[in-house]
Structure 1
């Protein structure tokens, strides 16, 4: 096996996507219900380097098995999403009340991590990142959190259910204006905070932080026998596919990695030009 193949295999086993096009899969070892995951990333047509990063792994912590899944979609560089890949879940799990109140622990860790990113702006640069994270506790309890427009969608009996909230500037105009900012909507463009950023919440972005929030939307979803799978993906997918279209496209694909790849290929075929990263977690 060549050196490049060995490195790629190590990434797949660890479940960490890189800043280049990548793919991989894994499975639960402890859950009574068989759970598998697969991921796939595709570089967009922009001239800058790939700015999407992801985490997809199962980890044994104390007496529980945690599924840790995340999409980090960077802007103005890849240093912030790369930092999140390596630190956000550690910060969440290190919160003392994670096991008693995971929702509150996630909320605190998001905001603490953002403060650290801002403090390290000299090292990490002026860029930022959206995020959507999922923590699956013992295959039974799913804790979803997000800032920005990367999205989590659940399939239950074939019906799509969005578990995250798209933090769009126009929807949070009053909060932005109350902080002294403004929202622009120029012909042929999307709403932007201060004419620059197309999301109302994000990690980093020090120059805009007075007008941006890093407070995540957090939702808990219990996993019953009717839940088939869930999808995490960056906006490169959701710009060209509805939630139900994404669910319908992969519902009959049992292999999670194949399903994730199928979604990215469909987004490309629909002329998505953005970086596209996708994770599918399937309950068998």
Structure 2
């Protein structure tokens, strides 16, 4: 019986393809790209305090990406401070994205390379998208990303096709049993927009409480089960609920062989950035399988409570096993980076069997990064 953490059953040798990282190796992702995901349009901040008008500098952030106990690293993270400006207000928009691939890292790496560009194009296109219509912008971005993956499979000519970005040796475009989750956040001075597709997750800390900003798209969720069955598909329980007995999530980018049962439509939340909003965590299910929302928020809150960023975060005794995902030229915040690293350490200590990737964003208006350092800068995390 396969581990419940496996995203899809290995019907072929697809998961054995690629470079083995073994042990608890850490993957450094270069050229992080934001990902948008699943659409649940709801103002999570409704009924809260009035919106805080704050500066549009990039909030402080940090991230880690760890291979963990898997042979291959299939996660990808993308962060693009000052991605673009909002048409209506002129405010800078900051992009944070996390992708958890399955089958191999092809689709996750493609999302890392392309999703933020697609989001930028949609936001800046007033003809296709009404300014401020986050639902339309994210849905169009996810749909285009999914079509690019399919086009890549069909003819290898899609602009996102970049074999050098992928860390495995799986042959494309022949393989259509590869996919990825996508959870993306756009942070503005007034809003926190999250789009999610799959079982990665975004969690907000507001007023000392953990608030989910996304829904894990599992095949046995009543709405997802009804949609799958309505399209003529089945959910088979084989080491947990799976679409056609194969995929353990009901929405993803890619996975063309399971369409239309597996959807790429994102679910979106738009949350007011009020005085009570503290920080946001984006993470793959390698964290959420073993760490609750409340525990994760408690740990991050502890790390960020020291304004100097000098939180104690014990380093691994094994050289190279745990490192921050950013290189020397970027500007991650130490406290946010330590918080992300501490969460990955906890996940590994609790025997998470999956890759673990975590992004922490400090949303306090008085904890903004330097605009002079971050404007138009691209932060990257990728495997070496």
TM-score (norm 2): 0.64
Change (3 A) 1:15 1:79: closer
Of 142, 145, 150, the residue aligned with 1:113 is 145
State whether residues 196 and 214 of structure 2, in contact with CA within 8 Å, keep that contact through their aligned partners in structure 1: yes
For 1:238 and 1:207, locate their aligned partners in 2 and report how far apart those are by CA, in whole Å.
Answer: 27
Q: Is the 8 A contact 1:159 1:244 kept in 2?
A: yes
Q: From the two aligned structures, give the one with the greater helix fraction.
A: 1
Contact 2:83 2:95 (C-alpha < 8 Å) held by counterparts: no
Task: List structure 1 segments (4+ residues) > 6 angstroms apart after TM superposition.
Answer: none
- From 157, 166, 180, the equivalent of 1:129 is 180
Q: CA deviation at 1:193?
A: 0.4
Query: Matched residue pairs, number?
Result: 259
Aligned CA RMSD, in angstroms, stands at: 2.2
Distance across 2 between alignment mates of 1:121 and 1:106: 23
Alignment of 1:197-216 (within 5 A): 197-216=247-266
Once the two structures are TM-superposed, the CA of residue 57 in structure 1 deviates from its matched residue by 2.8
Alignment of 1:61-140 (within 5 A): 61-62=84-85, 63-95=90-122, 96=125, 97=129, 99-122=131-154, 123-124=172-173, 125-126=175-176, 127-137=178-188, 139-140=189-190
Partner SS state of residue 161, structure 1: strand
Note the C-alpha offset of 1:100.
3.1
Sort the Cα spacing of 1:275 and 1:10 in 2 relative to 1 into closer, same or farther, 3 A: closer
Q: Which runs of 5+ in 1 are unaligned?
A: 1-7, 18-29
Deviations 1:95-134 (A, max 9, x none): 1226331221111111121122112124453200011000
TM-superposed deviation, 1:73: 0.3
Report how far residue 33 of structure 1 moved.
7.4
Provide the residue aligned with 2:351 in structure 1: 271
1:206 and 1:243 map into 2 onto residues whose CA distance is: 32
Match of 2:303, SS state, is: coil
Whole-Å separation in 1 of the counterparts to 2:33 and 2:56: 25
CA contact (8 A) 1:37 1:56 kept: no
- How far residue 44 of structure 1 moved from its aligned partner, in angstroms, is 2.6
- What is the TM-score of this pair, normalised by structure 1? 0.85
Question: Does the CA contact (< 8 Å) of 1:152 and 1:231 recur in 2?
Answer: yes
SS in 2 for 1:280: strand
In our comparison, the structure showing a higher alpha carbon Rg is 2
SS of corresponding position for 2:180:
strand
* Map 1:110-259 → 2, pairs under 5 A: 110-122=142-154, 123-124=172-173, 125-126=175-176, 127-137=178-188, 139-171=189-221, 172-186=224-238, 189-254=239-304, 255-259=335-339
Is the strand fraction higher in 1 or 2?
A: 1
| Partners of 1:94 and 1:82 in 2: CA distance | 19
Q: Quick check: 1:56–1:279 contact (8 Å CA) kept in 2?
A: no
Q: CA deviation at 1:249?
A: 1.6
Q: 1:10 to 1:260 in 2, by over 3 A?
A: closer
Q: How far apart, CA to CA, are the structure 1 residues paired with 2:215 and 2:259? A: 20
1-structure distance, mates of 2:102, 2:108: 9
SS in 2 for 1:170: coil
